[in-house]
Amino acid sequence: MEWHQISPELSMAVLAVAVILLDLFVKDKRLLAWLAAIGLIVPLAFVIDLWNEGSSTIMNDMLAVDQFALFFKFLIIGITMMVFLSSWEYINTKIQNFRGEFYALVILSALGLMLLAAARDMISIYVALELSSMSLYALTAFLKDRKSTEAGLKYLILGGIASATLLYGMVLVFGMTGTTYLDGIKEAIFDIGSTREPVLFLGVVLIAVGFAFKIAAVPFHMWVPDVYEGAPTPITAYLSVASKAAGFAVIIRIFIEGFGKPSWLFDDWTTLFAVLAAITMTVGNVLAIHQTNIKRLLGYSGVAQAGYLMVGLAAATAGEGSGQSGIMFFLVAYSLANLGAFIAIIAISNKIGSDEIADYSGMIKRAPVLALVLGICLISLTGIPPTGGFIGKLLVFKSVLDPSLDSGLLWLVIVAVVNSVIAAFYYFRVIKVMFLGEPKSQESVPSDASLEFALIISTVGVFALGIYPYAVSKYADIAAMLIP
Q: Which spans of this chain sit near another protein (rule: CB under 8 A)?
A: 325, 379, 384-386, 390-391, 394-395, 397-398, 401-403, 410, 413-414, 417-418, 420-421, 424-425, 428, 432, 435-436, 469-470, 473-474, 477
Closest to another protein by CB, 323 vs 469, is 469
Cis amide prior to 219 (ω within 30 degrees)? yes
* Shortest Cβ 417–another protein spacing (Å): 4
> Smallest distance from the beta carbon of 325 to another protein, in angstroms?
8
Nearer to another protein, 78 or 466 (CB): 466
CB of 419 to another protein, least distance (A): 9
In terms of CB distance, is 144 or 474 closer to another protein? Answer: 474
Closer to another protein by CB, 171 or 401: give it: 401
Give least dist CB 287 to another protein, A.
Answer: 18
Q: Which is nearer to another protein, 190 or 425 (CB)?
A: 425
Q: Cβ closer to another protein: 112 or 389?
A: 389
With respect to another protein, which residue has the nearer C-beta, 45 or 401? 401
Shortest Å distance, C-beta 62 to another protein = 32
Q: Which residues contact 173 (CB under 8 A, 6 or more apart)?
A: 122, 185, 200, 203, 204, 207
* Least distance between another protein and beta carbon 402 (Å): 6
Q: How far is the CB of 316 from another protein (least distance, A)?
A: 16
Cβ proximity to another protein: between 211 and 397 the closer is: 397
In the complex, least distance from residue 264 CB atom to another protein, rounded to whole angstroms: 28
Q: Which is nearer to another protein, 199 or 436 (CB)?
A: 436
